[in-house]
Structure 1
Amino acid sequence: MPSEQTEVVVVGAGQAGVAMSEHLGAAGVAHVVLERDRIAERWRSQRWDSLVANGPAWHDRFPGLEFSGVAPDAFASKDQIADYFAAYAEKIDAPIRCGVEVTSVRKNAGRPGFRVGTSEGVIDARFVVAATGPFQRPVIPPIVPDSAVTEQIHSSGYRNPEQLPQGAVLVVGAGSSGVQIADELRRSGRRVFLSVGPHDRPPREYRGRDFCWWLGVLGRWDAETPPEGAAHVTIAVSGARGGHTVDFRALVGTGVELVGMTASYERGALRFEPDLAANIELGDQKYLELLRAADEYVERNGLDLPAEPEAHELGPLPACATDPLRELDLAEAGVTSIVWATGFAADYSWLQVDAFDEGGRPQHRRGVSAEPGVYFLGLPWLSRRGSSFIWGVWHDARYVADHIATRRAYLAYDKAEAGSAGN
């Protein structure tokens, strides 16, 4: 027999779990949030030392609390973000239990709800919210054998340049993580190669407004589905050193050596796709398109925002793009480390319900899964483009909480009681 009962079990106490708790609490729904580590643990222990938020503090927060000690237009450090969520959880008196790992979730046989197995016993819950987010299992493509270099790590395991053995470094992946790590390594004096794939490259700031503001006023955070082929395209933007636009031409100017997508390895050499120029130009197109949309918005609404014609001037492609390096002998180039900024895969092995497609991907609509009573929260494009940002998950959580409250009302309906109340 279950040792405990509650209406909702929320799995994970990162930004998604804390947001979920706030909305469930406001709706008067009994719940518990289970976290195997600490609140916002991934921000504390699975990020590099110098990481800051990619959005300014006025934007990347929940509505009910501002960042302490961070100016509105500044970028909070990873530890400030973790502290923020811990403070927010305390503010809303969230029923979070740290150090409790969820090991299994199974549908109850012949009755509503789910049996939630944990490291501290069993909980019987009517609803389960998987708020573990998308960053669960680091992905390192099986391209380079371990023996090829001294060190291969995922970006989630990278902390600082001193962590890596002496020598050159190859960084694979040109999203925010890969670009910032490559830049930091180059500034530390390392020789750095950066493998660049398809990416979105927005301006950090344009005409006095952050790109987060522009996407808001242009309605682009509300896009419900990604453009065709862009569901997993990374965004290259940086809050480091006060925030700046990622410019691959400027990176080349600092000494970073760009190559195309990493393709294969054979006899000590890495081979790259001949797509570097195409990838940079695609990012340029998206960058310039956003500038044009912003200019049209300013003109249409008569805003007094200073023009920046120089922002439209990109200059020629660097020689490494027009005559790309196709093969790199790692030993000859002195490469002793590879940092794989290649994203994450989901791990829902603990969630043993009928809520996934044949590829193991969650089946849901705005977080409401194909298994009644199970919900997902914190996933990219859960409801719209903004879902992957801190403020976006807060709004997604409100929708999920409303859905749970509505379903509870249906399940609580008793015809006999309703009839007697009407007499």
Structure 2
Amino acid sequence: MTVEHVETLVIGAGQAGIAMSEHLTKLGQPHLVLERHRIAERWRSERWDSLVANGPAWHDRFPNMTFPDTEPGAFPPKERVADYFVAYAAQIGAPVRTGVAVTKLQRKADGQGFRAETSAGVIEAKNVVSATGPFQRPLIPTTVPAETGITQMHSSQYRNPGQLPEGAVLIVGAGSSGSQIADELNRAGRKVYLCVGPHHRPPRAYRGHDYCWWLGVLGLWDVEAREPGLEHVTIAVSGARGGETVDFRRFAQEGMTLLGRAQSFEDGVMRFAPDLAANIAGGDANYLSVLDAADAYAAREGLDLPEEPEARVMRADPDCVTNPITALNLAGAGVTSIIWATGFALDYSWMDIDVFDAKGQPQHHKGVSTVPGLYFLGLPWLSSRGSSFIWGCWRDAAYLAQHIAARTPATQTETV
């Protein structure tokens, strides 16, 4: 059997894999990038049709290439984002091999490197970088049985309003995906019920600068650890229609019905926690904390930025907040579809290596795992708040490439 040997194997050719390839190339480190589909495939086939980047083009990019035909303050549509990574891979000459899936990864018997079984054969490598990202296995609760006849899908399967049967839609989860999909369906004339859990709801822009800019000058992108208790708090932010602040009260004024967290389903009735008002208030507190921090920074630095007092004006609570619905007969409400915007879980079932903790999380420090030669890249909070963003994983990749170069002398790729 022919076994291919490489110095470093990078698994995944999304933003993390392409960033890793650039830095390995700069350091003269031979490597190979495997991608089971196409470069940046999830942007093309696992997101809804109208999705745009949640950050402006000047921010959500690699340092050495801007988005073509895109204004710096615009939010590129998903296909343009995928095309960006394809073009970037070509620009740096990334050795990407597409259409090859890694089905199993193990340490070699002698402990010197790794053996990867792929759909195209076996590859052995001294180093392996897992760059498969955080969006691996959609989480779909089994709360509502399939026998109800209600169409159910994860947000990664949703494409557009025409995909769903006629009738009302229940969306569970109001982070960036859930809130944007809910807004799109509501604008398309659908009756929408939206479950809103604990969340952060930052301003899209304030005093002439985008939220991403404020996070930068406030030093918040570089924060290295989440505050205790905030591990699972979602962020509702949107680049839709040129970028706008997610406002759940506005959603309600435009016809949407807000609900608390979904709890259970029995005899056709979905029950919700009585926490909607508290969750809305928590989002408001987060929103105002950003304004406060921005104002304090502007004053401290003597910045001549336009005042924006209207940003602190909140709409009145709608009836669905002051008189929350805690039980809803789905058939009676005309609900024919449920979209579970409930996030993703990591899936390393293909990695047969003792490197995970009791919760299935890889054990690492800034991407350097507890197993010599094995690395992780592109995960949230890998080294800081910015780690899962395009520019953030580029920075993390530079660190990992230096680590790989320090432990492994450069050699030539060979086949035996």
Please tell me the TM-score bracket, short chain as reference: over 0.9
Deviation at 1:235, TM superposition (A): 0.9
Question: TM-score, normalization: structure 1?
Answer: 0.96
Deviation at 1:96, TM superposition (A): 0.3
Q: Which moved more, 1:289-298 or 1:139-148?
A: 139-148
Following the alignment from structure 1 to structure 2, what is the Cα–Cα distance between the partners of residues 149 and 362? 38
Following the alignment from structure 1 to structure 2, what is the Cα–Cα distance between the partners of residues 309 and 148? 49
Superposition pairs of residues 26-65 of structure 1, within 5 angstroms? 26-65=26-65
AA aligned to 1:305 is L
Residues 4-33 of structure 1, C-alpha deviation per residue, up to 9 Å, x if partnerless? Answer: 111110000000000000001111111000
Retained in 2: the 8 A contact 1:134–1:344? yes
Superposition pairs of residues 319-338 of structure 1, within 5 angstroms? 319-338=319-338
Match of 2:211 in 1: 211
Deviation at 1:318, TM superposition (A): 2.0
Following the alignment from structure 1 to structure 2, what is the Cα–Cα distance between the partners of residues 249 and 149? 31
Any stretches of 5+ residues in structure 1 without a counterpart?
413-423
Following the alignment from structure 1 to structure 2, what is the Cα–Cα distance between the partners of residues 137 and 150? 22
Match of 1:267 in 2: 267
Residues 366-388 of structure 1, C-alpha deviation per residue, up to 9 Å, x if partnerless? Answer: 00111111101110000000112
Deviation at 1:109, TM superposition (A): 1.3
Deviation at 1:2, TM superposition (A): 5.5
AA aligned to 2:196 is V
AA aligned to 1:340 is W
Match of 1:295 in 2: 295
Following the alignment from structure 1 to structure 2, what is the Cα–Cα distance between the partners of residues 365 and 319? 47
Retained in 2: the 8 A contact 1:175–1:235? yes
Match of 2:414 in 1: none
Residues 173-204 of structure 1, C-alpha deviation per residue, up to 9 Å, x if partnerless? Answer: 00010000000001111000000011111000
Match of 1:388 in 2: 388
Retained in 1: the 8 A contact 2:366–2:396? yes
Retained in 2: the 8 A contact 1:150–1:165? no
Match of 2:376 in 1: 376
Residues 114-140 of structure 1, C-alpha deviation per residue, up to 9 Å, x if partnerless? Answer: 111111111110000100001011001
Match of 2:248 in 1: 248
Superposition pairs of residues 138-217 of structure 1, within 5 angstroms? 138-217=138-217
Retained in 1: the 8 A contact 2:261–2:275? yes
Compared with structure 1, are the counterparts of its residues 2 and 348 closer, same or farther at alpha carbon in structure 2 (3 Å cutoff)? farther
Retained in 2: the 8 A contact 1:6–1:124? yes
Deviation at 1:148, TM superposition (A): 2.1
Match of 2:283 in 1: 283
Retained in 1: the 8 A contact 2:253–2:318? no
Match of 1:67 in 2: 67
Deviation at 1:39, TM superposition (A): 0.1
Following the alignment from structure 1 to structure 2, what is the Cα–Cα distance between the partners of residues 77 and 256? 25
Superposition pairs of residues 346-365 of structure 1, within 5 angstroms? 346-365=346-365
Deviation at 1:316, TM superposition (A): 3.2
Following the alignment from structure 1 to structure 2, what is the Cα–Cα distance between the partners of residues 142 and 400? 39
AA aligned to 2:278 is A
Match of 2:309 in 1: 309
Following the alignment from structure 1 to structure 2, what is the Cα–Cα distance between the partners of residues 210 and 245? 11
> What SS does the corresponding residue of 1:84 show, helix, strand or coil?
helix
C-alpha RMSD of matched pairs (Å): 1.1
Deviation at 1:158, TM superposition (A): 0.2
Following the alignment from structure 2 to structure 1, what is the Cα–Cα distance between the partners of residues 279 and 400? 37
Superposition pairs of residues 121-132 of structure 1, within 5 angstroms? 121-132=121-132
Retained in 2: the 8 A contact 1:387–1:396? yes
Superposed structure 1 runs of 4+ greater than 4 Å apart: none
Residues 60-114 of structure 1, C-alpha deviation per residue, up to 9 Å, x if partnerless? Answer: 0000100011110000000000000000000000000000000111111124101
Following the alignment from structure 2 to structure 1, what is the Cα–Cα distance between the partners of residues 227 and 125? 38
Deviation at 1:150, TM superposition (A): 2.8
Residues 328-383 of structure 1, C-alpha deviation per residue, up to 9 Å, x if partnerless? Answer: 00000000000000001111011111110122111111001111111011100000
Match of 1:416 in 2: none
Following the alignment from structure 2 to structure 1, what is the Cα–Cα distance between the partners of residues 188 and 316? 27
Following the alignment from structure 1 to structure 2, what is the Cα–Cα distance between the partners of residues 257 and 243? 23
Match of 1:420 in 2: none
Deviation at 1:317, TM superposition (A): 2.3
Following the alignment from structure 1 to structure 2, what is the Cα–Cα distance between the partners of residues 41 and 109? 33
Retained in 2: the 8 A contact 1:115–1:124? yes
Retained in 2: the 8 A contact 1:137–1:345? yes
Residues 378-401 of structure 1, C-alpha deviation per residue, up to 9 Å, x if partnerless? Answer: 100000001121111110111111
Following the alignment from structure 1 to structure 2, what is the Cα–Cα distance between the partners of residues 148 and 401? 51
Following the alignment from structure 1 to structure 2, what is the Cα–Cα distance between the partners of residues 15 and 321? 40
Superposition pairs of residues 60-139 of structure 1, within 5 angstroms? 60-139=60-139
Following the alignment from structure 2 to structure 1, what is the Cα–Cα distance between the partners of residues 356 and 326? 39
Any stretches of 5+ residues in structure 2 without a counterpart?
412-416
Match of 1:421 in 2: none
Following the alignment from structure 1 to structure 2, what is the Cα–Cα distance between the partners of residues 402 and 88? 21
Following the alignment from structure 2 to structure 1, what is the Cα–Cα distance between the partners of residues 302 and 111? 61
Percent identity of equivalent pairs:
63
Following the alignment from structure 2 to structure 1, what is the Cα–Cα distance between the partners of residues 13 and 95? 10
Retained in 1: the 8 A contact 2:208–2:306? yes
Q: Which moved more, 1:110-119 or 1:257-266?
A: 110-119
Retained in 1: the 8 A contact 2:250–2:315? no
Following the alignment from structure 2 to structure 1, what is the Cα–Cα distance between the partners of residues 40 and 111? 34
> What SS does the corresponding residue of 1:332 show, helix, strand or coil?
coil
Deviation at 1:230, TM superposition (A): 1.0
Match of 2:400 in 1: 400
Retained in 2: the 8 A contact 1:103–1:118? yes
Q: Which has the higher helix share?
A: 1
Count matched residues. 411
Question: TM-score, normalization: structure 2?
Answer: 0.97
AA aligned to 1:185 is L
Deviation at 1:212, TM superposition (A): 0.1
Match of 1:419 in 2: none
Retained in 2: the 8 A contact 1:149–1:335? no
- 1:25 matches 2:25: yes
Deviation at 1:301, TM superposition (A): 0.8
Deviation at 1:147, TM superposition (A): 2.1
Following the alignment from structure 2 to structure 1, what is the Cα–Cα distance between the partners of residues 89 and 394? 13
> What SS does the corresponding residue of 2:178 show, helix, strand or coil?
helix
> What SS does the corresponding residue of 2:22 show, helix, strand or coil?
helix
